[in-house]
Amino acid sequence: MEKGTRVRSTSPPDGGWGWMIVAGCFLVTICTRAVTRCISIFFVEFQTYFTQDYAQTAWIHSIVDCVTMLCAPLGSVVSNHLSCQVGIMLGGLLASTGLILGSFATSLKHLYLTLGVLTGLGFALCYSPAIAMVGKYFSRRKALAYGIAMSGSGIGTFILAPVVQLLIEQFSWRGALLILGGFVLNLCVCGALMRPITLKEDQTTPEFSRTQKQDFKRVSPCSTLTKKWVHTCLCCSLQQEYSFLLMSDFVVLAISVLFMAYGCSPLFVYLVPYALSVGVSHQQAAFLMSILGVIDIIGNITFGWLTDRRCLKNYRYVCYLFAVGLDGLCYLCLPMLQSLPLLVPFSCTFGYFDGAYVTLIPVVTAEIVGTTSLSSALGVVYFLHAVPYLVSPPIAGRLVDMTGSYTAAFLLCGFSMILSSVLLGFARLVKKMRKTQLWFLAKESDPKLQLWTNGSVAYSVARELDHKDEQSVALTVPRYSPTRPVA
């Protein structure tokens, strides 16, 4: 299937079949992230049916989120070495099987394994490869394309939240899970849309060449030489594929993602229970999730469109920090909001900026690592979501059980997201200061630079900073020559 449909292009087409890729990714985010969010609507049902406390019941949502992110690199490996189409179709089958088996659960442990592990594994095989495909088809309008694709999470939440509540009322939680299992099978259709594409920069990536493959067939598979050759090739391929892990910018982004992921997850678990605890009805609580979803859509698309504008294109990183920090501030205000008229504006504000930073995660990652390594980098980024997604809802539930209030849980999440934003901002500020300092060092080493520099020297010095130390960069700055044109 891959060999017959692979498209070759020297650069991202920024349109054409790319919009079908966006549509496929849009449906993938509905079937993965929106369905995961709607699991919180089952929270009270599971808690009542199995007579368990907040912390035990919260593990269901935590496990499905954790496995989805923990196995994201596996999704990237399957996509890179087989095809994106195969990975998403296989993921759709696994996720549907987990939901269907979950409808027959007789204990929370059964739900941990089926709805948590199996469904989460299926989502992992679908999510990061679909997002990476959008980055391969778009360059100039990348943020807008991602905004549309990622808005599936919000639209899906807006539609599915009241529908799931209605299904629970009509068919019980078992019937609702069974129907969701059938719905998630649409991931197989989404996978069929993911036509592979080969870009110019992909052709420069070291792979097994045709000559190497022919040589491999001529060598005996049992020989020691063959085993060493295969081991060397695999090591070189993996080293090239994950070389971005040594980049300082990526390391800082990875650390900040841990704090951001810890803060963002508990709201989607506890918004409905919190609303019920302050006197909001079941339908109104589900309506809050719908509002969160639809405003999430607006955040996805408008932030993607705005950051594609020329005036903001160079400030996507800052926009990402802004969105994450404001979501943290919303968390800090939540304990004071104890009625539906106050919770509605909260859902609007939090949903908008949640959609904004979710859209910019792959964009910021692509700016740091490039398009060639985007699939692997996104796999690592989403992998880093795993542990915070696993522990944050149970920790929040334990705080609720201990204090009898949601205040401590929400404050901890808010400060975590603010810390994530501050950390990235501080790292960017330090990097700019180092670049400025390096430029002054370069000018001091050769004062004649002032006679002819037109800004290009500063740009080259700044780029060299990412790869060399200050002394070596100063040596690479071109010396003044009378034959050079004066700017």
Has residue 1 been placed in a domain?
no
Residues 6+ apart with CB under 8 A from 234: none
Q: To 10 degrees, what angle do helices 43-50 and 248-277 make? A: 60
Report the alpha-carbon distance of residue 247 to residue 89 in Å, rounded: 33
- List the Cα angle 164/170/171 in 5-degree steps: 85
Report the alpha-carbon distance of residue 452 to residue 144 in Å, rounded: 40
Nearest to 164 by CA among 184, 186, 179, 185: 179
Hey, what are 282's tokens? 């079941």
Q: What is the pLDDT of residues 259-311, one digit of tens each?
A: 998 988 888 888 888 988 888 888 888 888 888 878 887 887 787 777 777 77
pLDDT in the model for residue 240: 62
* Total number of domains constituting the chain: 1
DSSP state of 281: -
pLDDT in the model for residue 113: 92
pLDDT in the model for residue 202: 54
Residue 36 in contact with residue 69, Cβ under 8 Å? Answer: no
Has residue 296 been placed in a domain?
yes
Has residue 473 been placed in a domain?
no
- The pTM score is 0.62
Residue 155 identity (one-letter amino acid)? I
Has residue 305 been placed in a domain?
yes
* Greatest C-alpha distance within the chain: 85
Hey, what are 298's tokens? 């607006």
Nearest to 29 by CA among 131, 122, 109: 131
Hey, what are 416's tokens? 């975590």
Has residue 358 been placed in a domain?
yes
Has residue 11 been placed in a domain?
no
Strand 197-198 versus strand 7-8 pairing type: parallel
Cα radius of gyration (the chain): 25
**Mean pLDDT for each 10-residue chunk of the chain (487 residues)?**
49 74 88 85 84 80 84 78 84 92 90 91 87 79 78 80 88 92 90 75 48 46 52 56 75 88 86 87 83 81 76 78 90 89 90 84 79 74 80 87 88 92 86 78 62 44 45 43 41
pLDDT in the model for residue 79: 75
Domain with 76 in it: 21-200+243-436
Phi/psi-derived region of residue 15, left when phi > 0, alpha when psi is between -120 and 50, beta in every other case: left
Has residue 443 been placed in a domain?
no
Has residue 354 been placed in a domain?
yes
The CATH number assigned to the domain holding 179 equals 1.20.1250.20
Report the alpha-carbon distance of residue 275 to residue 290 in Å, rounded: 13
